[in-house]
Amino acid sequence: MEREIKRVLVVDDEQNTCDMLTEFLRSSGYSCASATDPAKALAILKKGDFEFVISDIKMPKMDGLQLVSEILKIDPEIDTIMMTGHAGVYTYVDIIRAGASDFIAKPFQLQELQAKMERIDRERKMQRGLKQMAEELRKSRDELESRVEERTAELEKANEELRQFPSKLIAAQEEERRKLASELHDSIGQSFAAVKYWIEMALKLRDAGDCDAAINQLQQFIPILQRSIDETRNIYMGLRPTMLDDAGLLATLEWLRQECMKLYPQRHVELEVGVSEEEIPAQFKINIFRIAQEALNNIAKHSKAEWVDISLSKNGGRIELVISDDGVGMDLDLISQTSAARSLGLTSMRERAVLSGGSFSIESILGEGTTIRAFWPIETEGQFQKGETTQLPALSNF
Ligand SMILES: Nc1ncnc2c1ncn2[C@@H]1O[C@H](COP(=O)(O)OP(=O)(O)OP(=O)(O)O)[C@@H](O)[C@H]1O
Ligand SMILES: [Mg+2]
């Protein structure tokens, strides 16, 4: 196993000792240098080339214990073995407290010195291992803390949205009622008022004995009635598209596409279908329709898009609805911060997808357009792929 200690500096005021130790250490495979003066030793160590010092204690200008404390100031990682022929003057406690790793009493056998160095080497390795482990632990803890922070922030946001949801629902319900009331007033209410007027006129003509004029009068309000029938149909289709139950989801999506084209003739809307009506589980149909409806509403209101693609397909065990436009796009981070309190569309699309067992994501690039994706796992070959983990990376919280 590779040594931790490779480069050793010997410090002793006796040149003979320096030479003898240097020779022994070199023959044992260490890279080695020596100094007879502690000040020189410190200058050598400052260059950073040594990780181990073997030093005499009793030296004229600076004793070994002082030298150890100076060495540790240069590099606290350097290990030192003190050599002493004055065991009575310097105790083990003094030497270790000064910061040395060990001491050896002169005279000693070179093998004894080597054994001590090997033990210190093992300890260094263990320390390094422990340090690495502590560092890794610290990193994992930091990562964990930041993940907990992220999750807590997400949870707080979700909680906040949940807290706001009832009031948003009430507001949406009120808005829906207001729209319905004004539509009833403007369409059926107006038509019935007209019908009443025309019938009264016809009756008056009949009372005056002019039956032909009365019949003519009645015939004239047939188109008005037809318009009322159409308007009523539009209202109930908006409330609950009966077509969904009568003709199926695919026909209803086609109807939605045509309505969209009628309202905005300059916008091209494509519908691509890669799934049969029977393959779409009944419980998903209203959700698929509502998500498509709100996505198209949003495109009409916000996107300025020229091209819109609606695609409904069966893809690897799931039903996938994708609606993309080439409009102005949106800054999802900004939208999630600013519109959370007011708007309901994106939130309700996501809620619908998730609550019916699916997943939902939005991708949007400013100036390039928006793509909305919702998918639901379906049963394939007797296997229900519930709660698939292949959820697309949601680019926002919507
Ligand atoms: N296709 C899109 N292109 C560009 N911006 C969009 C698109 N869809 C949504 N947006 C932006 O996202 C915002 C939030 O949409 P959302 O449907 O939640 O609310 P809304 O349409 O403003 O109101 P409502 O609650 O009536 O749906 C919109 O105000 C709009 O700025
Ligand atoms: Mg909307």
The ligand whose atoms approach the alpha carbon of 362 most closely is 1
Tell me, yes or no, whether 201 lies in a domain.
no
Task: Say how many Å lie between the CA of residue 368 and the centre of ligand 2.
Answer: 19
The Cα–Cα gap between 366 and 336 comes to 15
Q: How many CB atoms lie within 10 A of CB 289?
A: 20
Give the list of residues 6+ apart from residue 266 with CB closer than 8 angstroms, or none.
Answer: 306
The CATH number of the domain where 75 resides is what?
3.40.50.2300
The whole-number pLDDT of residue 195 equals: 83
Beta-carbon neighbours within 5 Å of ion ligand 2? 298, 345
Task: Give the atom of ligand 1 at the shortest distance from the alpha carbon of 346.
Answer: 18
Asked if 99 and 246 sit in the same domain, the reply is: no
The whole-number pLDDT of residue 72 equals: 94
Asked if 244 and 104 sit in the same domain, the reply is: no
Cβ–Cβ < 8 Å for 323, 329 = no
Tell me, yes or no, whether 1 lies in a domain.
no
Tell me, yes or no, whether 384 lies in a domain.
yes
Tell me, yes or no, whether 184 lies in a domain.
no
Sign of CA dihedral 72, 74, 77, 81: negative
Sign of CA dihedral 159, 165, 166, 168: positive
385 touches ligand 1 (CB under 6 Å)? no
Tell me, yes or no, whether 230 lies in a domain.
no
Burial of 137-163, coded b for 16+ CB within 10 Å and e otherwise, reads eeeeeeeeeeeeeeeeeeeeeeeebee
The Cα–Cα gap between 195 and 203 comes to 12
Eight-class DSSP state of 78: -
The Cα–Cα gap between 390 and 373 comes to 13
Per-residue pLDDT of the chain (398 residues; tens, 9 = 90+): 577 788 999 999 999 999 999 999 999 999 999 999 999 999 999 998 899 999 999 898 899 999 999 999 999 999 999 998 866 678 888 899 999 999 999 889 999 999 999 999 999 899 889 999 999 999 999 999 999 999 999 999 888 877 877 777 777 778 888 888 887 887 777 778 888 888 898 999 999 999 999 999 888 888 888 888 888 887 877 777 788 888 999 999 999 999 889 888 889 999 999 999 999 999 899 999 999 999 999 999 999 999 999 999 998 889 999 999 999 999 988 887 776 556 778 988 998 898 889 999 999 999 999 999 999 998 765 444 444 333 333 333 34
Task: Give the atom of ligand 1 at the shortest distance from the alpha carbon of 297.
Answer: 21
Domain residues for 389? 240-398
Task: Say how many Å lie between the CA of residue 171 and the centre of ligand 1.
Answer: 16
Task: Say how many Å lie between the CA of residue 292 and the centre of ligand 2.
Answer: 11
Residue type, 225: L
Radius of gyration of the chain (CA): 43
**Where among 108, 141, 172 does a domain terminate?**
108
When divided into structural domains, the chain yields a total of 2
Three-state DSSP class for 266?
A: coil
Tell me, yes or no, whether 53 lies in a domain.
yes
Is the pTM of the predicted complex or chain greater than 0.75?
no
**Where among 63, 91, 108 does a domain terminate?**
108
Tell me, yes or no, whether 393 lies in a domain.
yes
Main-chain phi, psi angles of 301, to 5 degrees: -80, -40
Enumerate the H helices of 58-109 as residue ranges: 64-74, 92-98
Task: Say how many Å lie between the CA of residue 364 and the centre of ligand 1.
Answer: 12
**Where among 64, 91, 108 does a domain terminate?**
108
335 touches ligand 1 (CB under 6 Å)? yes
Asked if 96 and 244 sit in the same domain, the reply is: no
Cβ–Cβ < 8 Å for 12, 36 = yes
Torsion angle of the four alpha carbons 331, 335, 337, 338, in this order, in degrees rounded to the nearest 10:
120
Tell me, yes or no, whether 148 lies in a domain.
no
Q: How many CB atoms lie within 10 A of CB 198?
A: 18
Task: Say how many Å lie between the CA of residue 309 and the centre of ligand 2.
Answer: 18
The Cα–Cα gap between 369 and 325 comes to 5
The CATH number of the domain where 322 resides is what?
3.30.565.10
